[in-house]
Structure 1
Amino acid sequence: MTQSHPAHPEAVTFPFGRPSPFEPPERLASLREERPVTPMAYPDGTTGWLVTGYSAVRAILADPRFSSRRELLNVPVPFPLMQEMRRPADPGMFIRMDPPDHTRYRKPLTAQFTVRRMKQLEPRIQEITEERLAAMEKAGPPQDLVREFALPIPSLVICELLGVPYADRDEFQRFTAVLLNLESSVEDIRATIVGFGAFFARLIEAKRADPADDLLSGLITSGELTDEELSNVGFLLLAAGHETTANMLGLGTFALLQHPDQLAALRADPSLIDNTVEELLRYLGIIHVGPLRAALEDVEVEGQLIKAGDPLTLSIVAANRDPARFSDPDHLDITNPATGHLAFGHGLHQCLGQQLARVEMRTAFPMLFDRFPGLRLAVPAEEVPMRDTMSIYGVRELPVRW
């Protein structure tokens, strides 16, 4: 279990709050330069570690001596259900498990998210994107790009892939918003967990009676998972499948509009889209709290001894801006190779849906800017509301006109 050490005299608190929409907390850069594995004080009084250097973060993500088991982890910012996290993850919540439990749940899903399978989805993703663009054009400016474009596209795609009725999107998007908000009350979180469970219970019952050609029906008919496991696996895929890509589409559009030289370079050379997607993933850092790990035994990382039981917070945002790995990392440059970034994690917990996210972004960005070559913000940039209190960072709204 997590150990409570005496407060380390050099322990920092987790740097939170960005000076501008595209800049990480300034303290992360100085910590990365001074001490990439540094003692950190957690809100409950525990002392653990904040890891900011690229090589250290990548090594820990690949090392089985660091656990993802929920009962061992600690959250670096105040969180209302802290004590309830100190128990094993519910059946099916495989992202908070280690092998062999993690392997048992993830293995049957891996074949559904291969590069080949995602390429097969590309025509449908193009259709969905075209439908959203046509609806935006018909409605006329100004429009909120998040509501009309960035959120519907990945939501529709993951709904079709899983077999979740898109008509229920308001319900599951409301649930997800509560669970990802670091400031949600205990009462709201508990009610949302119950609501999400009931949502999937109804869906599983309907699919068991009338299975279709979708991922959830396939899992049900395989008979390998209980209803509770099916519900939790479905929740993970549904929440991750629309929230992360939606925020990349919204924040990525904001970034390109604020860097007109980069947008002009992409328009001049559409073959740069693959690199643009990777550079945006590296530069923007929507996972701004975590991932979290805990040491299963004493391990030395870059000269620092981490004791068994110590909790760790790995900063993907800081790692992806590490000048030891990326040249001129604080500048957005779509012509620079951004391979090797950690936006999707690394190791056995690397994002299952990363290829789907890539296809969605490679499709949506060019189609958006081709349809609306005069796309621009409808409000001053400083008035764009950001998701500062959410565990997944992005824009709450992106008012645009054309």
Structure 2
Amino acid sequence: MKINKDIFSLKPSATLEINEKVKALRKEGKSINHFGFGQSPFPIHHKIVDALKEHANNNHYLPVDGLDSLRDCITRFLLENQAIKTSKESIFIGPGSKELLYQSILIFEGHFLIPKGSWVSYIPQIKSKGGTYSILETYIENDFKLTAETLEEFINKGTENKQYILILNSPNNPTGAIYSESEYQKLADVCKKYGLIVLSDEIYSQINFDENYATSISKFYPDKTIVFGGLSKVFSAGGYRLGYMVLPHELKHLSRVYRSLFSETFSCVASPVQYAAIEAYKYSNDIKEYVSDSSSILSGISSFIFKNLTRNQITCTNPRGAFYMMVGFDELQERINALGIQTSKELSLYLLENYQVALLPSSDFGFEDKELFFRLAFVDFDGKNVMKVYQEKKQITENFIKENCPNIYKGVERLIKFVNDLQE
């Protein structure tokens, strides 16, 4: 039997794989502190759920582009809550931003550029089409954000006149970092100079610890930036599988290409889900406040983790959004190597087996195997209960986390114990 070699070489998504492994261990009765899976822990706002119920009997195929009324809502939402000016005709609805990104990767020919410290699925998606890519160097001192200097240096080293497609993600998975306006302006200048296409993954935009939303690079490079977003993170609706993409005016001629590909693959997103999404993107004051409270909770938890790990010789990025940080044991590499552990994957297994802590190895995010960094997702708590308690007190303290987020609290303790054990 012959199988597409590019598909056959893929492995299961690292995030989904670790989640299944933790579920199996917990089923065996083991106490696991799960920092490996990045799903919003909060319930979906009741207004969105009610809209889904109301339209549950709608069994019609909808337009390939998506409901006009939904695209209208997203147009207004983007203008008012992300400072992106676009039109309904530029918006396409799909079964998650992940699928829309994949279909874009299928469409564009060229060489893809991935900053070190990027979401696990970008590279497998490129590999699945037999595409080529390069990982661009980033550094912990800058929370693993790509700089304009690194981008331009790479392009100038190229020997061929290639079309480059840069994939950016802010707020970032796995680091929690957010690009500032000045950082984006400098990157945009390089992108414009060399005519890059930018795929801007902004799925976490409103989960921002300092502002109402994260700036989009499309503000500085609207010509060839395609923006992606969706329900899964901001609205805690990963299982609804609805995303959107915004095609810039300069690439409007590709609408036909996208529409044709969508019609031959997923056809349209489920009707009830699209009607539920309308309620989400109306972004009424109570939903907006709910999202804001979610961000405040995540900010308080991330601050607790950052403070406790960094004062115990664990290197951390300083998250400003999303619900992740990268943690590293570079200061302890010699002691870890003395255990016979050389790679981040080996150390992740060691931590899971000996300290019951699940972390994703950095090798899944574009790092070299021997770089001992890991993605830590800080969402292993009962979101419904935590939201209720927070809305009564509007304050996140260490005691709050100990009482209401015990898996987070215990997981931090276990990581610190690992460090202390290394030094005995």
TM range (shorter): under 0.3
TM-score by length of 2: 0.25
Q: Higher strand share goes to which structure? A: 2
